[in-house]
Amino acid sequence: MELADTTLRPTTQALALSRWQRTSRILLRNRSAMVGLFILAILTFVAIFARQLATHDPEKPLIGLEENVKKRADPCIHALGCPQDQPEHYFGTDGNVRDVFSRILFGARLSLIIGFTTVSFAILIGTLIGLVSGYLGGWVDNVLMRVMDVLLAFPSLMLAIAIVTVLGPGLINALLAIGIVSIPTYARVARASVLVNKEMDFVSASRALGASDPFILLRHILPNSLTPLIVQGTLGIATAILEAAALSFLGLGAQHPTPEWGLMVGQEYKNVFNAPHLTFFPGLALMLTVLSFNLLGDGLRDALDPRLARTRTG
Amino acid sequence: MLQYITRRLLTSLPVLLGILFITFSLARLLPGDPCRAALGERATDEVCDAFIRREGLDRPIPVQFAIYLGDVLRGDLGDSFRQGRSAVEILIERLPTTIELALLAMIFATLVGVPAGIVSAYWRNSAIDVGTMIAANIGVSTPVFVLGLLLEYTFAIIFKDTPLWLPPSGRLTSGVQLPSLAQSLNLQNLSGFSAGFLDFISRLYVFNSLVTGNWKVLWDALRHLVLPSMAVGTIPLAIIARMTRSSILDVLGLDYIRTARAKGLKMRAVVFQHALRNALLPVVTIIGLSLGGLLSGAVLTETVFNLPGVGRTLFEAITARDYTVVQAFTLVIALIYVLVNLVVDVLYAFLDPRIRLS
Amino acid sequence: MNRKLIYSWVVVVLLFSMLLAACQPAPTPTAEATAPPEETEEMVETEAPPTTEAPMETEVATEAPPAYEGMKVEAESCDYGGIIKSIEAVDELTVKFTMCVPDPAFPAKAAFSAFQIYPAEYLEATGGGGELVEKPIGTGPYMLEAWNRGEDVVLQRFDDYWGEPAKAQTAIFRWSAEAPQKLIELQAGTVDGIDNVAPDDIETVQNDPALQLVPRDPFNIFYVGFNNTYPPFDNEQVRQAIAMAIDRQRIVDTFYPPGSSVADQFLPEGLLARPTDSVWYDYDPEAAKQLLADAGFPDGFESTIKYRNVFRGYLPEPPVVAQDIAAQLKENLNIDLEIIEMESGAFIDAANAGQLEGLYLLGWTGDYPDPTNFYDFHFGAGATDQFGEKFEDITSRLAQAAQLGDEEARRTLYTEVNDLLKEHVPMIPIAHGASAAAYKADVQGAHASPLGNESLEVMYIEGQDTFTFMQNAEPIGLYCADETDGESLRVCEQVNESLLAYSVGGVEVVPSLATEYSTNEDATEWIFTLREGVLFHDGSTLDANDVVLSWVVEWDASHPLHVGRVGDFAYFSGLFGAFLNAP
């Protein structure tokens, strides 16, 4: 924490506020982070208004319901020259004659939900573990951290695959698996933050005033741990979406006919040579989504990094 | 130094124990009947009773774990039901493919990532910097399987009939065969561990052909590995590039650099002679950590490029309910991961005295 | 610090053990253990007297050669349920099969890959399984050099082959489940021939001057199966309702290549004695909904639909077809189907063991040109458990028809069988799928067998001594007595041979290891004369005992060599009714 000038040190609350303001100003100046934020905004819009924006039902085969509709049709946009007698599908149709554009839109909703739920789950449990572990120290710390070590000893996708094998394939199980696999990261972050903060003066002051341990944890330590958790969480959403897509690609995550992007690639990648659009549209969607979270997370990390902040007083 | 190594080894042991326990639990937690999973759906009740008794599945859990530990230490990882042979045999067959893939991916990532990071740091905040970092980010954001397909499409279809064409799948062209090292070096009379080990090394086609001077096969094997390595390598590449960049920037801000510049050294000399060595230390750690990502990426890449490696075999074993193989392979992968991290830590300590003295 | 670490680990391990023990019930053995048949290594005395090989070359010595000790295995009575009465090696080069009932289709069956001949010594040495499944030894034009699991199967020309030597020195089988990938490899030149061109790619191949397309007639059937022992499929009305609720024309039009047709009956065209006017249920979703409501499910129900993601002529794109069927049944009958993809080997094994609950997608490519190949294997008394309980009215008619020689009489019976199939609905026939193989344009002898048995020994490219063929999947095993999968059978065919064979690219039965055969008046006795001087790949000579033992290990369930890969021997029981001494 930097030393302020001669004015009285503000309370934790007020300091956090002005820090946020300062952070957001730095963030706004970071061009790549802004790109990420922009993409994310579009994504969120699409996810919320998927039903209104979509041209067809994402899960219903259109055989017999549309004139001339073909399986794995190329993208056809009438405004761009596609003949009028062919049904309009912006991104074409997939192997089951479903509209790809609508599936991509609904997939955005799914991906955002996947990202947020897994990371929320992991942060919740991980932070709990990390807070308890770091604050109590001793035995508890040892045991909990060893368990985290073992989880980290496996490559994350492998462990997720192993967990899904035990639980059975399905989107919920895949999310649970990814959540479990992500817990150690947040536990470590939370614990590190606790270790730094628990020796601080304001904590001892609080304790001297008679505050109980849980109160200290929640009221003083947790807020200060939030920033690294948020940074890690943003980047974690990116990883979670990728892992969910990977599990669905392998057939272990979302099941037919859910319009999950990874599943869409998994079903059509064999046709990448004669119908490349069916692989690349969901692939592009995945890439853009994950990119936005990565850029945003990087930007947040740069903006919230105390060392760099030192050189940016203002 | 030795003290550091022993300390590190000791902290690894409990982790190893934990890994063994998890893989042991894996097989016990899997849905369905372990007997029918191992012997097939047709196994009768009598057969299953004998199986349960023989495998000790009716004994208490800690005893079972002890038995499992004993088996693993003896090198017995069980037999694959689907293929009718020992899991170790399958491992010897499949692991070399993944190792080659991982190594080449790592080389690719380092060879491209480090210079990219240096360039970015050197021309900090310029268009080159932003461009490189965005490209790196795109690399890490694109799912490995999508990237693999993109590469396959580009090099196998778009570049067909051009010198840039690359084969879309497999490890070697049809019909190209590589004699095992046992044959080339006339060491056919080995048995047991040495034979297995030699067989394992022979399947590292790049190494094998290099050692026996079989240039045609070497060229073929390398060509087949280019696309998959690139696909898998983009993940560590992005991380390495970013890490190199920030590491160099950190170092450049330090006092001794200012001193060097004050002494009149050109920026380029400063970067290469002073900053780089220290900046590269964290990169070494990243290499170890990326291995996890590589192994995970291997599952997806091996599927797309039709490579018979550990990742794909593990996945096929899961769908085929070949639990022995799942258990054995998960264990080995985790062990490799721990081992590599251990090596990296030791290497890091070797390079940075501050660590070992802490 | 280290001690604490170890202690904390011990605590963790103990905690997890307790958790694990709580979560998982301890398996309790249910009965006294008996040694499982798969595990016995030691050999039990065989029924037949030990065989000695009579020397093939005439000896110069004045002694008369010792009398040939031929094996004979005979069923005590014909009540065991099968149609074979005895198999006997009459002399070195003569084998006699005696049947309990007339079996006019016997030569067509005997030519099939499941009845290939192995050296008796090799069968004994491998114990009937194990290495036999990975390293078969036979009389075929190619010998197995290596099976590189996951990569390829490499075969080398057998120079002492009794017939015309193989054209290409080395034959290689590779595989890929992805049709586009196969086409890429063919176009890239890394393989010389591929099986099952994707429907979307047929045009591409036809337009490419460097490739040749060889179409294959739809000698197959794709069906949706049920196991009628699992509710609600034990209710015949439910099955009938589902039959009426699937728009099969839509499936064929959307997902099959040109040349395919909607299946009005189980048998594809081109079979003798095929019924001429059988018609399946019309697509009638309203009637189906009514029928399902009558059956007690007005709001539908939940179940699963399973398939294996392997390209077959009868089903080129399993996942999309599964999804379409699920969508149709959801729409028409409100049946919620969870779509489950299974691994090929596990799927087949589970199907044969009767373990597949819910609906499943499967099909059949004809192995030999007789209705018994289609009907008896699936609905006969010796069929596997894939459909659950068998229907006696069907099995009796099939058994009858199999014994008749008169085509019209058989046709009448088969028409009745079709009506019964429509009534009982053990499965829903959907399509006869056309398929095609593609080769490089300069491949000589390129052909596509309607039975899926391409003969690599006649195919070659001028100037190339390797011929590579890419099929859909890896063989599951190479001991074809115990395999039913076309990918395994095709590889076996190059290495092993049966008494008779099918003509290259055709369905005619021609001599192979037997030069001729004769039968008695009522087709209950079949006598085969073996070719002289045929060598196995290991150098031993073919004689009648090899033939008898190869057949007997399949026939006699109590034989110690009745092992195989899983011990199913599904073709044997399917085609010949039952095993001798079945448990």
End-to-end, the C-alpha distance of chain A in Å comes to 14
pLDDT tens digits, one per residue of C226-247? 999 998 999 999 999 999 999 9
Whole-number Å distance between alpha carbons of B4 and B351: 13
Instruction: Tell me whether residue B184 is in a domain.
Output: no
Query: Which among A60, A147, A274 has the least Cβ separation from residue C200?
Result: A274
Do B106 and B21 fall within a single domain? Answer: no
3-state DSSP helix/strand/coil % of chain B, to nearest 5: 75, 0, 25
Place of tokens 């076309």: C486
Contact assessment for residue C488 and residue C405, using Cβ atoms and an 8 Å cutoff = no
Looking at the complex, report in whole angstroms how far the Cα of residue C197 sits from the nearest Cα belonging to chain A: 12
Lowest pLDDT segment from A295-299, B40-44, C221-225: B40-44
pLDDT tens digits, one per residue of C143-171? 999 898 777 899 999 999 999 999 999 99
Nearest CA in chain C to A69: C254
Q: What is the 3-state secondary structure of C545-575? A: HHHHHHHHHHHECCCCCCCECCCCCHHHHHH
What pLDDT score does B41 carry?
A: 60
CB contact under 8 Å between B143 and A242, yes or no, is yes
Whole-number Å distance between alpha carbons of B333 and A135: 34
Nearest residue to A260 (alpha-carbon basis) of A277, A241, A273: A241
Structure tokens at C330: 């959801």
What pLDDT score does B175 carry?
A: 62
Do B114 and B22 fall within a single domain? Answer: no
Burial class (CB in 10 A: 0-12, 13-18, 19+), B224: buried
CB contact under 8 Å between C324 and A142, yes or no, is no
Q: What residues pair up with C98 in beta bridges, in sequence order?
A: C86, C525
Residue C37 binned pLDDT confidence (cut-offs 50, 70, 90): very low
In one-letter notation, the amino acid at residue C242 is: I
Kindly list the partner chains of chain C, i.e. chains with 3 or more CB atom pairs below 8 Å. Answer: A, B
Do B120 and B42 fall within a single domain? Answer: no
What pLDDT score does C281 carry?
A: 92
Whole-number Å distance between alpha carbons of C409 and C104: 13
What pLDDT score does C14 carry?
A: 67
Do B159 and B297 fall within a single domain? Answer: yes
Nearest residue to C478 (alpha-carbon basis) of C122, C222, C216: C122
Give CA separation, C515 vs A20, B14, B67, C91, in Å: 92, 70, 58, 15
B293 in contact with chain A, both atoms CB, cutoff 8 A: yes
Query: Rounded mean pLDDT of B216-220?
Result: 87
What pLDDT score does B115 carry?
A: 87
Nearest residue to A190 (alpha-carbon basis) of A155, A231, A153: A231
Last residue within a domain, chosen from B73, B88, B110: B73
pLDDT tens digits, one per residue of C97-109? 999 988 888 988 8
What is chain C's mean pLDDT, rounded?
Answer: 85
pLDDT tens digits, one per residue of C462-506? 988 899 999 988 898 899 998 888 889 999 999 999 999 998 888
Query: Rounded mean pLDDT of A38-56?
Result: 92
Query: Rounded mean pLDDT of A28-34?
Result: 79
- The count of other CB atoms within 10 Å of the CB of residue C20 is 18
Give me the DSSP letters along A235-300: HHHHHHHHHHHHHHHTTSSS-TT---HHHHHHHHGGGTTT-THHHHHHHHHHHHHHHHHHHHHHHH
Nearest CA in chain A to B314: A158
Give CA separation, C94 vs C49, C68, C311, C543, in Å: 18, 11, 41, 8
Is the pLDDT reported for residue C56 higher than 50?
Answer: no
Contact assessment for residue C499 and residue C514, using Cβ atoms and an 8 Å cutoff = yes
Residue A241 binned pLDDT confidence (cut-offs 50, 70, 90): very high
Residue B287 belongs to domain with CATH number: 1.10.3720.10
Do B287 and B148 fall within a single domain? Answer: yes
Do B163 and B277 fall within a single domain? Answer: yes
Using DSSP, how many helices (H) and how many strands (E) does chain C show? 17, 22
Which range of residues forms the domain containing residue B29? 2-73
What is chain A's mean pLDDT, rounded?
Answer: 83
Lowest pLDDT segment from A210-214, A216-220, A237-241, C55-59: C55-59
Whole-number Å distance between alpha carbons of C356 and C306: 8
Do B269 and B307 fall within a single domain? Answer: yes
Q: Is C111 helix (H, G, I), strand (E, B) or coil?
A: coil
More confident residue, B69 or C291: C291
Instruction: Tell me whether residue B211 is in a domain.
Output: no
Residue C52 binned pLDDT confidence (cut-offs 50, 70, 90): very low
Is the pLDDT reported for residue C423 higher than 90?
Answer: yes
Is the pLDDT reported for residue A4 higher than 50?
Answer: no
Whole-number Å distance between alpha carbons of B357 and C392: 84
End-to-end, the C-alpha distance of chain C in Å comes to 63
More confident residue, B196 or A229: A229
C341 in contact with chain B, both atoms CB, cutoff 8 A: yes
More confident residue, C345 or C62: C345
What pLDDT score does C41 carry?
A: 32
Query: Rounded mean pLDDT of C338-342?
Result: 88
Is the pLDDT reported for residue C222 higher than 80?
Answer: yes
Instruction: Tell me whether residue B250 is in a domain.
Output: yes
3-state DSSP helix/strand/coil % of chain C, to nearest 5: 35, 20, 45
Whole-number Å distance between alpha carbons of A228 and A234: 10
What is chain B's mean pLDDT, rounded?
Answer: 79
pLDDT tens digits, one per residue of A134-181? 888 888 888 888 888 888 878 888 888 888 888 888 899 999 999 999
Q: What residues pair up with B88 in beta bridges, in sequence order?
A: none
What pLDDT score does C251 carry?
A: 93
Percent of chain B clearing pLDDT 70 (strictly above):
87
Residue C10 binned pLDDT confidence (cut-offs 50, 70, 90): low
Do B228 and B318 fall within a single domain? Answer: yes
**Sign (positive/negative) of CA torsion C232, C233, C237, C239?**
positive
Query: Rounded mean pLDDT of C98-124?
Result: 90
More confident residue, C63 or B25: B25
A61 in contact with chain C, both atoms CB, cutoff 8 A: yes
In one-letter notation, the amino acid at residue C120 is: A
Residue C3 binned pLDDT confidence (cut-offs 50, 70, 90): low
Do B145 and B19 fall within a single domain? Answer: no
The CA-based dihedral angle spanning residues C492, C498, C500, C505, taken in that order and rounded to the nearest 10 degrees: 0
Instruction: Tell me whether residue B256 is in a domain.
Output: yes
Instruction: Tell me whether residue B140 is in a domain.
Output: yes
More confident residue, B321 or B245: B245
CB contact under 8 Å between A154 and B315, yes or no, is no
Q: Give the count of domains, chain B.
A: 2
Do B243 and B319 fall within a single domain? Answer: yes
Instruction: Tell me whether residue B317 is in a domain.
Output: yes
Residue ranges of B 151-170 with Cβ closer than 8 A to chain C: 156-157, 160, 165, 167-170
Nearest residue to A291 (alpha-carbon basis) of B150, B133, B153, B237: B133
pLDDT tens digits, one per residue of A99-134? 999 999 999 999 999 999 999 999 999 999 998 888
Query: Rounded mean pLDDT of B149-154?
Result: 82
Q: What is the 3-state secondary structure of C6-68? A: HHHHHHHHHHHHHHHHHHCCCCCCCCCCCCCHHHCCCCCCCCCCCCCCCCCCCCCCCCCCCCC
Looking at the complex, report in whole angstroms how far the Cα of residue A215 sits from the nearest Cα belonging to chain B: 34
Is the pLDDT reported for residue A205 higher than 90?
Answer: no
Give me the DSSP letters along chain A: -----SSPPPPHHHHHHHHHHHHHHHHHH-HHHHHHHHHHHHHHHHHHTHHHH-SS-TT---TTTSTT--TTPPPB-GGGT--TTSPPBTT-B-TTS-BHHHHHHHHHHHHHHHHHHHHHHHHHHHHHHHHHHHHH-HHHHHHHHHHHHHHHHS-HHHHHHHHHHHH-SSHHHHHHHHHHHHHHHHHHHHHHHHHHHTTSHHHHHHHHTT--HHHHIIIIIHHHHHHHHHHHHHHHHHHHHHHHHHHHHTTSSS-TT---HHHHHHHHGGGTTT-THHHHHHHHHHHHHHHHHHHHHHHHHHHH-HHHHHTT--
A139 in contact with chain C, both atoms CB, cutoff 8 A: yes
Contact assessment for residue C274 and residue C374, using Cβ atoms and an 8 Å cutoff = no
What pLDDT score does C38 carry?
A: 36
Query: Which among C11, C184, C324 has the least Cβ separation from residue A61?
Result: C324
Query: Rounded mean pLDDT of B111-136?
Result: 82
Query: Which among C8, C326, C341 has the least Cβ separation from residue A146?
Result: C8
Do B248 and B311 fall within a single domain? Answer: yes
pLDDT tens digits, one per residue of B244-270? 887 777 777 777 777 777 777 776 676
Q: B184-189 long-range contacts, Cβ below 8 Å, gap at least 24?
A: B184/B208, B184/B212
Buried b (16+ CB within 10 A) or exposed e, C294-309: ebebeebeebebbbbb
Instruction: Tell me whether residue B68 is in a domain.
Output: yes
Main-chain phi, psi angles of C307, to 5 degrees = -160, 165
Structure tokens at B238: 């992005």
Query: Rounded mean pLDDT of A80-90?
Result: 84
B146 in contact with chain A, both atoms CB, cutoff 8 A: yes
Is the pLDDT reported for residue B340 higher than 90?
Answer: no
Contact assessment for residue B293 and residue C168, using Cβ atoms and an 8 Å cutoff = no
Instruction: Tell me whether residue B155 is in a domain.
Output: yes
Query: Rounded mean pLDDT of A181-186?
Result: 92
Contact assessment for residue B117 and residue B244, using Cβ atoms and an 8 Å cutoff = yes
Whole-number Å distance between alpha carbons of B222 and C48: 57
Query: Rounded mean pLDDT of C265-289?
Result: 89
Q: Is C431 helix (H, G, I), strand (E, B) or coil?
A: strand
What pLDDT score does A38 carry?
A: 92
What pLDDT score does C33 carry?
A: 36
Give CA separation, B119 vs A302, B185, B248, B268, in Å: 20, 46, 10, 11
Percent of chain C clearing pLDDT 70 (strictly above):
89
Residue C288 binned pLDDT confidence (cut-offs 50, 70, 90): very high
Is the pLDDT reported for residue B158 higher than 90?
Answer: no
Q: Which residues of A touch B (CB under 8 A)?
A: 31-32, 146-147, 149-150, 153-158, 161-162, 165-166, 168, 238, 242, 245-246, 249-252, 262, 265-266, 269, 272-273, 276, 279-280, 282-283, 286-288, 290-291, 294-295, 298
Do B309 and B248 fall within a single domain? Answer: yes
